[in-house]
Copies of this chain bind each other. A is one copy, B any other.
Amino acid sequence: MKPVKVGICGLGTVGGGTFNVLKRNAQEITRRAERAIEVAQIAARSINPQCVITDTPITDDVFEVVNNPEIDIVVELIGGYTLARELVLTAIENGKHVVTANKALIAVYGNEIFTKAEQKGVIVAFEASVAGGIPIIKAIREGLAGNRINWVTGIINGTGNFILTEMTDKGREFSAALQEAQALGYAEADPSFDVEGIDAAHKLTILASIAFGIPLQFDKAYTEGITNLASEDIRYAEALGYRIKHLGVAKRTAKGIELRVHSTLIPSDKLIANVNGVMNAVMVNGDAVGSTLYYGAGAGMEATASAVVADLVDVVRAMTSDPENRVPHLAFQPSALSHVPVLSIEDCETAYYLRIQAEDSPGVLAQVATILSKRGINIESIMQKELEEMNGKVPMILLTHNVTEAKMNDAIIALESLEGVEGKVTRIRVEQLN
């Protein structure tokens, strides 16, 4: 059979990796896909020095690629929202299939893109957009297709996980750990997308959609970063048998879908609590399968390229099939998407870790307990750190049972107004992951 012709737009880290993997593993890939996958054109502003390009035509105009009648599949690896959206929509309009690693694009414009792709009968594949080389989209969308998914949670930002691992293992503060990440090239000069949780929220939005069969709703995701996390809370959590990880959590509840990104205490003996450094891991809990976990490199030149190429092989197989029998973009048939609401953070329910700087007296403890009990908040455990006294105050650490965020907000206002309590109450959510 004649080769499938691919146009790569963007030759940065992932684009360069994709080119190299397609070239190096050409034989292995053809043994699998039967048809060869040929890079027929590349659009790039500059040549990636890690690529040896001999006879592939190169242009600096991405629209040359999407308008090239020879190209069957456009690989969008330029990133960003604006040009990428136009490029992908034009490719679809031209009847081309698309493979993308662009989580922001899918999370924000995915509904529009998939609707158009379905009208034109083309495939838009996006395995590389979540958790790099881990085939998590495929696992949820196909591998667990027999399940009603209960929840998905994951460490889906390697930069954030590296920083937390440094803070945990070396007792560093956030700013020092961030500098280390920047020095090693794991964090950008402006790290806000990673450390503020926006990147993780993009990915979580995509995971939630394919897990529950709901439209992409990035604007409804609650996002909290790790910039305010104090190293002492990591230490106290450890003493209680927990680790702190920055998680994306998507959970089906009777009231709606919870969609939230924040630092989270999880039991130290869970496998995912031991996922360290820049590695990613996603847990998926289904009603039939129970809890499963998928682990691997969440970023990097060839790890992400691995997902791009797997998508290319999938597209090569599916492009000749009846569109009606393809795996739906968002796992569920477009007409079967559900409009169950995404809950506001106030309606989300979790357990909490609270750290209160308080006078070390039975009176204050009684007042704290009263405030919580009046709001129906049960205390699971209390730890007072007498040895860490400062200005007559000691840290009082509480773990609560599950309660809505709204009730906890109310309790925290009351706690902070107590005379024996100093400053702000630190609050970190807790998940048992059972």
Interface residues of A (CB under 8 A from B): 17, 21-22, 24-25, 28-34, 127, 133-135, 138-139, 142-148, 213, 271, 274-275, 286-297, 300, 302-303, 305-310, 312-314, 317-318, 320-322, 324-328, 331-333, 336, 338
Q: Choose among B29, B143, B292, B333 the residue that contacts A31 (Cβ–Cβ < 8 A).
A: B333
Bound Cα distance A101, B355 (Å): 50
Q: How many copies does the complex hold?
A: 2
Q: Is the CB of A145 within 8 A of B29?
A: yes
Find the B residue at minimum CB distance from A22.
B146
Bound Cα distance A147, B21 (Å): 8
Contact of A303 (CB < 8 Å), options: B21, B142, B288, B306: B288
A310 touches B142 (CB 8 A): yes
Query: In the docked arrangement, what's the CA distance between A326 and B317, Å?
Result: 6
Which of chain B's residues have a CB closer than 8 A to the CB of A148? 24-25, 28
Contact between A127 and B143, CB atoms less than 8 A apart = yes
Given contacts A275-B271, A293-B293, A333-B32, are A288 and B25 in contact (CB under 8 A)? yes
CA of A35 to CA of B142 in the docked complex: distance in angstroms? Answer: 15
**Bound Cα distance from A287 to B23, whole angstroms:** 13
- Which one of A28, A289, A308 has the highest number of Cβ atoms from chain B below 10 Å of its Cβ? A289
A145 contacts B34, C-beta separation under 8 Å: no
Is A289 touching B293 in the complex (CB atoms < 8 A)? no
Given A302-B289, A320-B322, A31 and B310 touching (CB < 8 A)?
A: no
Q: Which of A24, A146, A307 has the most CB of B within 10 A?
A: A146
Contact sample, A vs B, 10 pairs, CB 8 Å cutoff: A21-B147, A28-B213, A31-B332, A32-B333, A34-B325, A138-B142, A139-B294, A287-B302, A289-B296, A292-B294
Among A143, A290, A312: residue with most chain B CB under 10 A: A143
CB distance from A399 to the nearest CB of B (A): 23
Residues of B within 8 A of A213 (CB): 28, 31-32
Interfacial chain B residues near A33, Cβ < 8 Å:
145
With a CB–CB cut-off of 8 A, which chain B residues contact A314?
142, 145
Residues of chain B lying within 8 A (CB to CB) of residue A336: 30-32
**Docked-complex contact B146 and A21, CB < 8 angstroms:** yes
Known: A17-B288, A31-B338. 16 other contacts (CB 8 A): A24-B148, A24-B287, A25-B147, A25-B288, A28-B213, A31-B213, A34-B333, A134-B292, A138-B143, A143-B307, A146-B309, A287-B302, A289-B306, A292-B296, A318-B325, A320-B321
Report how far A137 CA is from B22 CA in the complex, Å: 22
| A313 touches which of B146, B305, B310 (Cβ 8 Å) | B146
Inter-chain CA distance A312–B294, complex, in Å, is 22
Contact (Cβ within 8 A) B309 A288: yes
Please report the C-alpha to C-alpha distance between residue A309 and residue B338 in the assembled complex, in whole angstroms: 22
Measured between beta carbons, the chain B residues less than 8 angstroms from A25 are 146-148, 287-288
B287→A297 contact, CB < 8 A? no
Minimum CB distance partner of A318 in chain B = B325
Pairwise interchain contact B295-A271, C-beta atoms closer than 8 A: yes
A296 proximity list for chain B (CB < 8 A)? 289-293
Closest to A308 in B: B146
Question: A321 to chain B: which residues have CB within 8 Å?
Answer: 320-322, 325
A288 partner residues in chain B, CB cutoff 8 A? 17, 21, 25, 133, 302-303, 305-306, 309
